[in-house]
Chains A and B, each alone.
Chain A
Amino acid sequence: MLADHLRNIFQTFFLGYALAIFACYLFLAMVSASVLKRSTNLAKISHYDPLIASPFAPVITVIAPAYNEAVTIIENIKALLALYYPSFEIIVVNDGSKDNTLEKAIDAFELEKVPYVIDYKLNCQEIRGIYKSRKKAFNNLTIIDKLNGGKADALNAGLNVAKGDYFISIDVDSIIDPFALQKLIKPFLEETDRKVIATGGGVRIANSCRIENGHLIEINIPDKFLPRCQVIEYNRAFLMGRLAWSRLDGLLLISGALGIFDKEIAIAAGGYLTKTVGEDMELVVRMRRYMAERKIKYLIPYVSDPLCWTEAPSSLKVLGSQRNRWTRGNIDTLLRHRKVFFNPKYGFMGMVSHPFWVFFEWFAPIIEVLGIIYFMIIAILGQPNWSFFFVMLAFVYFFSITFSTYAILFDHLAYHRYKKKRMIIRLIFTAWLEPILYHPLNVYWAIRGNFDYFILKKKAWGKMPRAGFAKTT
């Protein structure tokens, strides 16, 4: 009797949870569709000449932390220098590289150490020197040489030297769209009654794309299965998730690969936190808290255009390490800001976004595994309802591929980047395999992330070696 009662409770819980998560994703997808439609139509009539030709364009600082990037540093800086915007500076932070990253940059751009008084508005590891070029052509390039302190520490060092009103944090090895700055700054210039404190940009996968001199020449579908799965995953996350969260005023995460922030607010909120592996999400949540606690109306819009192309991990080991870190970063941020959880003082973020991340981002893989364990026990006891099981399995599978197919459709209708039919067919085929082959791995890495965070107390980034774009062309 008690066993039946418990069984009913468990089954109702798992079913209710699954339906709730699907309903949330469906709702987010619908909101995203309407936002995407508007932004696509807006793109048809947008022109940026008034900004590009203006002496009043706000100054933007591009901060690119670099650690052991000797192989690609010159090309990457060249690509950054070619960004199409009237007033911007580039700060590359050499975060105590053990290779000759700094020396290569010094030689290539004729840099020399300049006398510089640093205003340490944010704590960071000791800055050993500031380098600027003797050539006028590179007068907007600054290289900071500092002791190693991690990505967040490097970004803080960059912020201490930044002159712009806004700053963009990027991964130095990512490919930034030449028009990214103008597109990212636009929401700040369109603000009305609410202060725009940050804007996120769309990130896409560059594996197998043709890249020359740090510029994207030809877009292709990744040849390998894992990066291809990540193409679909990124489409889902950026086009069906973040777009909606931004519209609903609940965006908690701006990708570390590309985001623009109001420098004054970021510094006032305390800059990047060095004790976390999820510094990108943590900063956004802290900036939001800063504004909410001072009752200042604010906004975090999101530009869905693919503005940054990054190399996705193509080996299980590297991908696992990355997902493990993402999980630990999420947990850390959610726990650090637990005060926000269901706190009406923080508005939509407190009542919806934060709880959503707790229940459906952090808990989802845990509940999924618990569900599998529960079913295995029932199966061993010989009590499963197989019809119900197979119907549910089919429902989950088809829901998942419907969702992914819509993500492909959204991307196709909005940007039409994959022009060949062959590319689309490969993506659809990947979407059919992804729930069977790729999703279980993600669940495993998320569980490992939880284990590492709570049991092993792991705080390190983990290694993230990259093949480099030269090899992917």
Chain B
Amino acid sequence: MFHLSEHLKDLLISFGNDNLPIFFHRFFIRLVETCYNYPLVFLFILVIIFLVINILLIILTLYYTNTRKNRRDRYFSIYSNHYEEVLRKYLFNEIDWDLTLVKLKRYKRPLNRRILISVLVNFQEILRGDVDNAMSDIYYRLGLYNDSIRLTRSSRFYKKILGFRELTNLYPKGAEEFIEQYINSPDDLVAAEAQASYILLHPENPFDFLKKLTGPFTRWTQLTAFYLLRKHPISVPSFAGYLQSENRNIKKFSLRMIIYFQQIECESEILKMLDNPDETVRFLCIQSINSLRLFSGKELLKNRYPSETLKNQTEIVKALRNIGENEDYDFLENIIKSGSITLQTEACRALYYLNPECLDRLKLTDPKSELKIKQFIAHVTDQRN
């Protein structure tokens, strides 16, 4: 081994002597000797060679991927437009199915199939009426569902999600079989998509999955659920039952839905939520009482007021503007005298708009105290504030 390395050293030196400029010989010989005396230097030289190769490879990758991406973008754009045009003609009976098949050039290629599916999903999203089922029909006839099913089996989360989405929109029967098993997927994103698919696939009982949910029901998924509820013909259930859930996110979602769909029949369940340990649940509960004008909750709110957070106190005062009466004047006046500026402003707003009697009393408060009631009134009467 020693002889071999010595031989290599001699080879390097003789290579330097033969090939390098004379002024460089001395430095080169010292470098070779240093490498042999100090293995660290040798190691660094190896790393440098590795880095240089690395840089060259990155530059090649940059060159190659740039060309590929540009070509792919162009290809995608050309075929998207082409497929849209052909499908549009087919949907408006300008061409028949056989001619459509001929015109859907290269649709058997994997990339073209992906382009075609994306066009179909887009059409499904924007077109309504008689052509509603036509997209599913084309998707089925061309066997594109096989591509989507293949995606759902992928280990990559985004492919799985794409597969769910395509099947749910264009071939619900294909999705129904397995979507439930992903509702509690350890991957939050996959689980969220499965939950959205479940809502679309079960229009009669869209939120039954919430009873089995073990993972989070994030606010983003809640927004998606609400979006689907508004966009598709899905029956809106009574959310009172879901308020019993142990999952606080389900409680929050249910309260938001109760407010939006004005489910006044949930009154007793809503009032129970006022004691919930979660601040946001209580906040939404106060909002529900306000929005649904649940006068039965007024005293409960006033009793809770001292122990609430500032945010919830503000919400209680806002609620009193709508469900308050003359008897609440003193309560609100006390807030004006002792609360924070935000609370004072809201209390003033509540009294101002409660009824004319309260307004008169409010105006009379000014001379009696150091409070600048006029400023508060000016603030709350400007609708822009």
Residues of A within 8 A of B (CB): 41-42, 44-45, 49-51, 53-57, 114-120, 132, 139, 186, 188-193, 264, 385-388, 390-392, 394-395, 398-399, 401-402, 405-406, 408-409, 412-413, 416, 419, 421, 424, 428
Contacts and interface: CB of A to CB of B under 8 A. Distances in A.
B375 A412 contact: no
A186 B220 contact: yes
B223 to A, nearest CB: 4
Nearest to B228: A50
A115 B227 contact: no
Contact of B219 (A190, A390, A395, A398): A190
Nearest to A188: B219
Contacts of B35: 387
A409 B57 CA distance: 11
Range class of the B interface residue count: 35 or more
A398 B311 contact: no
A115 B48 contact: no
A50 B227 contact: yes
A42 B158 contact: yes
A387 B27 contact: yes
A412 B41 contact: no
Interface in B323-379: 340-342, 344-345, 372, 375-376, 378-379
Interface of A is mostly: helix
Contacts of B260: 55-56
Contacts of B227: 49-50, 53-54
Contacts of B226: 50, 54, 56
A119 B342 contact: yes
Nearest to A403: B51
B256 A139 contact: no
Nearest to A160: B341
Interface of B: 27, 30-31, 34-35, 38, 41, 44-45, 47-48, 51-52, 54-55, 58-59, 61-63, 65-66, 69-70, 156-158, 161-162, 165, 188-189, 216, 218-220, 222-224, 226-228, 230, 256, 260, 311, 340-342, 344-345, 372, 375-376, 378-379, 382, 384-385
Contacts of A408: 58, 62
A402 B223 contact: no
B384 A387 contact: no
Interface centre among A114, A386, A391, A416 (most CB of B within 10 A): A391
A330 to B, nearest CB: 29
A50 B223 contact: yes
B223 A428 contact: no
Given A120-B341, A395-B48, A412-B66, A45 B224 contact: no
Given A117-B375, A402-B54, A421-B66, 6 more contacts: A41-B156, A50-B228, A115-B385, A388-B41, A402-B55, A419-B70
B88 to A, nearest CB: 23
B51 A402 contact: yes
Contacts of A50: 220, 223-224, 226-228
Contacts of A387: 27, 30-31, 34-35, 41
